[in-house]
């Protein structure tokens, strides 16, 4: 193959290595033809001309085509990557409306390298949106549909997941709330040798400290008050598959040494049992906390760190936002049997420029609310600033506390009532993490802890509403997840 062949040139330049250079890339964030979203042009040189008929954009292994839409001027805008790391942008000599990060541009300007680190959103003619960013990875075939993305960060993440899946090491997933930690865990399981075995997912923040050991390791009949029959724990349910422990930083302190023992010896003892049991399950854990800085069991942390994967926040993969929006639109169409309402390009531009502290989860919620607005004949609104500052290690906790303080008790109650008293769904609706949702519930004057409800009142609710845990939870004004666990422990329906 000739060394001047573009594919050969890009392969040589972007082949994974420690000193791989960064190349300018353009990714289609939005296009009147939705199938074009996510297509890319990676520039093999320092000069790029972007117009209606050039350059060619393509998906991996797909046909390369220009933007082609009449809203894009024939006369190109020009980009020049300078030796000092800045990118010079020269608007086209045409009437095409050009925006850079939401601001109209009619004269040449310089883009600092740091702006390309975040991704610069270019609006062409009011209908096409491009992301100008760096690439240091070759596009891949994206063989993990649940982990969408064409950015270097997304490609790197999929590569790490393939590496982790090829081993039996414990995996620790680090990432902000909403960044897709459970999705990544399921991808590791699906890509590994245990894919035919069960995967059991547990949110450690939901565990009752008194019953956590029984939930995880099982219990014999009579091991505790209310244990009317022996039951397996989640380790036994996972069998030779995968046990995913989400929010591992919220694991009750008494069970952390028990988890360490399983990782060290493969053995555990069910509550009330006389003999140890063996676990064959692979362990994957996830957290959005700094476990090294708190009171977490440090030997357990070292064991969990067999293979560590950091999930990038959405603000570090802006080039993927268009694909994620399209995924929500397709989900809407699949559920409703009709195409999703059209979102205005100006609104999509706002979505693409927002920094999304709640990450993919928050983006999905915003798009779904916008679709409801458009479907009702209203203009969609983004109820958030277009560019929230990226949280730093020192500012993350105060920012989170400020966000929680903004939520009124009525908003928390409404979220639970509208989502069947399910904590996870209510947290998604409010754009907060599940641990934060628990804090809001604990502080709420009108939401009751299950432990504070008399058994007779629970029995009365069951008599009125039968085995419907959501209706019982609504009647008792308590979250449905703890109620389901309580019913299961009693041997009743859940």
Average pLDDT score over residue span 374-402: 56
pLDDT grade for 462, boundaries at 50, 70 and 90: confident
pLDDT grade for 112, boundaries at 50, 70 and 90: very high
**Average pLDDT of the residues of the chain:** 87
pLDDT at res. 404: 64
Q: What number of other Cβ atoms are within 10 A of residue 127's Cβ?
A: 18
Torsion, CA 232, CA 238, CA 239, CA 242, rounded to 10: -160
pLDDT at 481 over 50: yes
pLDDT at res. 395: 38
User: Are residues 350 and 386 in contact, defined by beta-carbon separation less than 8 angstroms?
Assistant: yes
In the chain, what percentage of residues exceed pLDDT 90? 59
pTM reported for the whole predicted model: 0.76
- How far is Cα 40 from Cα 25, in angstroms, rounded to an integer? 7
Domain extents in the chain: 6-135, 152-310, 450-489
pLDDT at 17 over 50: no
User: Between 471 and 434, whose confidence is greater?
Assistant: 471
Report residue 285: phi and psi, to 5°.
-125, 160
3 state SS of 248: helix
In the chain, what percentage of residues exceed pLDDT 70? 89
Helix 359-375 / helix 423-430 crossing angle, nearest 10 deg: 80
pLDDT at res. 300: 98
Nearest to 99 by CA among 60, 73, 66, 125: 125
pLDDT at res. 325: 97
Buried b (16+ CB within 10 A) or exposed e, 388-424: eeebeeeeeeeebeeebeebeeeebbebbeebbbbbe
pLDDT at 220 over 90: no
What would the pLDDT profile of 401-450 be if each residue is shown by its tens digit? 445 667 888 888 888 888 888 888 888 888 777 778 888 888 888 898 88
pLDDT at res. 491: 59
For every residue of 149-187, DSSP letters joined together read: --SHHHHHHHHHHHHHHTS---EEEE--TTS-HHHHHHH
User: Are residues 322 and 352 in contact, defined by beta-carbon separation less than 8 angstroms?
Assistant: yes
Could you say which of 3.40.50.970, 2.60.200.20, 1.20.1260.10, 3.40.50.2000 is the CATH number of the domain covering 6-135?
2.60.200.20
pLDDT at res. 405: 66
pLDDT grade for 216, boundaries at 50, 70 and 90: very high
The class that CATH gives domain 152-310 is alpha beta
User: Are residues 155 and 137 in contact, defined by beta-carbon separation less than 8 angstroms?
Assistant: yes
pLDDT grade for 455, boundaries at 50, 70 and 90: confident
pLDDT at res. 18: 46
pLDDT at 251 over 80: yes
Q: Does the N-terminal peptide bond of residue 55 adopt cis geometry, omega within 30 degrees of 0?
A: yes
pLDDT grade for 389, boundaries at 50, 70 and 90: very low
What would the pLDDT profile of 289-338 be if each residue is shown by its tens digit? 999 987 899 999 999 999 999 999 999 999 999 999 999 999 999 988 88
Residue ranges of alpha helices (H) inside 51-209 are: 113-118, 152-165, 181-191
């Amino acid at each position: 193959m000739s060394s001047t062949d573009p594919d050969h040139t890009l392969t040589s330049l972007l082949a994974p290595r420690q000193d791989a250079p960064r190349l300018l890339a353009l990714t289609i964030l939005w296009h009147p033809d939705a199938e074009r979203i996510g297509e890319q042009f990676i520039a093999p040189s320092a000069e790029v001309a972007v117009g209606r008929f050039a350059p060619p954009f393509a998906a991996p292994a797909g046909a390369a085509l220009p933007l082609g839409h009449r809203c894009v001027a024939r006369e190109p805008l020009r980009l020049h990557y300078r030796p000092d790391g800045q990118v010079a942008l020269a608007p086209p000599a045409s009437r095409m409306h050009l925006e850079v990060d939401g601001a109209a541009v009619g004269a040449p300007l310089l883009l600092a390298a740091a702006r390309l680190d975040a991704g610069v959103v270019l609006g062409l003619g009011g209908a096409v949106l491009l992301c100008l960013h760096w690439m240091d990875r070759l596009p891949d075939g994206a063989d993990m549909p649940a982990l969408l993305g064409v950015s270097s960060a997304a490609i790197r993440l999929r590569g790490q997941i393939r590496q982790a899946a090829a081993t039996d090491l414990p995996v620790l997933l680090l990432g902000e709330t909403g960044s897709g930690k459970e999705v990544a865990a399921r991808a590791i399981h699906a890509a590994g040798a245990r894919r035919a075995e069960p995967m059991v997912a547990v949110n450690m923040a939901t565990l009752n400290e008194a019953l956590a050991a029984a939930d995880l390791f099982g219990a014999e009949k009579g091991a505790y008050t209310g244990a009317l029959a022996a039951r397996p724990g989640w380790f036994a349910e996972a069998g030779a598959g995968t046990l995913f422990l989400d929010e591992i930083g919220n694991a009750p302190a008494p069970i952390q040494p028990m988890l360490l023992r399983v990782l060290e010896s493969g053995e555990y003892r069910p509550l009330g049992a006389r003999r140890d049991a063996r676990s064959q399950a692979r362990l994957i854990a996830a957290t959005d906390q700094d476990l090294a800085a708190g009171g977490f069991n440090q030997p357990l942390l070292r064991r969990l760190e067999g293979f560590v994967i950091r999930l990038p926040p959405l603000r570090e993969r802006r080039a993927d936002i268009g694909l994620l929006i399209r995924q929500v639109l397709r989900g809407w169409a699949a559920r409703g049997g009709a195409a999703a309402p059209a979102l205005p390009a100006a609104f999509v531009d706002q979505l693409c420029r927002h920094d999304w502290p709640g990450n993919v989860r928050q983006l999905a919620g915003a798009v779904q609310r916008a679709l409801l607005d458009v479907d009702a004949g209203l203009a969609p609104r983004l109820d958030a600033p277009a560019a929230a500052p990226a949280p730093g290690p020192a500012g993350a906790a105060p920012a989170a506390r400020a966000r929680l303080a903004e939520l009124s008790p009525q908003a928390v109650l409404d979220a639970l009532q509208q989502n069947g008293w399910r904590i996870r769904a209510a947290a998604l609706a409010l754009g907060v993490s599940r641990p934060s949702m628990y804090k809001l519930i604990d502080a709420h004057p009108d939401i009751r802890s299950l432990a504070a409800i008399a058994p007779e009142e629970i029995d009365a609710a069951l008599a009125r509403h039968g085995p419907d845990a959501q209706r019982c939870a609504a009647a008792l004004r308590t979250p449905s997840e703890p109620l389901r666990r309580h019913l299961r422990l009693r041997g009743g329906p859940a």
